[in-house]
A and B are shown apart, each in its own frame.
Chain A
Amino acid sequence: DGGITQSPKYLFRKEGQNVTLSCEQNLNHDAMYWYRQDPGQGLRLIYYSQIVNDFQKGDIAEGYSVSREKKESFPLTVTSAQKNPTAFYLCASSRGTDTQYFGPGTRLTVL
Chain B
Amino acid sequence: SQKIEQNSEALNIQEGKTATLTCNYTNYSPAYLQWYRQDPGRGPVFLLLIRENEKEKRKERLKVTFDTTLKQSLFHITASQPADSATYLCALEGSGGYQKVTFGTGTKLQVIP
Q: Would you call A42 and B43 a contact (CB within 8 A)?
A: no
Residues of B within 8 A of A43 (CB): 44, 89, 103
A-side interface size class:
20 to 34
Q: Would you call B45 and A102 a contact (CB within 8 A)?
A: yes
Interface residues of B in 1-38 (CB under 8 A from A): 4, 8, 32, 34
* Total contacting residues, chain B, CB less than 8 A: 23
Residues of A within 8 A of B105 (CB): 40-42
Query: A75 on the interface (CB 8 Å rule)?
Result: no
Q: A98-B49, A99-B34 are in contact. Are A105 and B100 (CB under 8 A)?
A: no
Q: Which of A40, A41, A97, A99 has a CB less than 8 Å from the CB of B98? A: A97
**Which residues of B are at the interface with A, using a C-beta cutoff of 8 A?**
4, 8, 32, 34, 41-46, 49, 89, 91, 93, 98-106
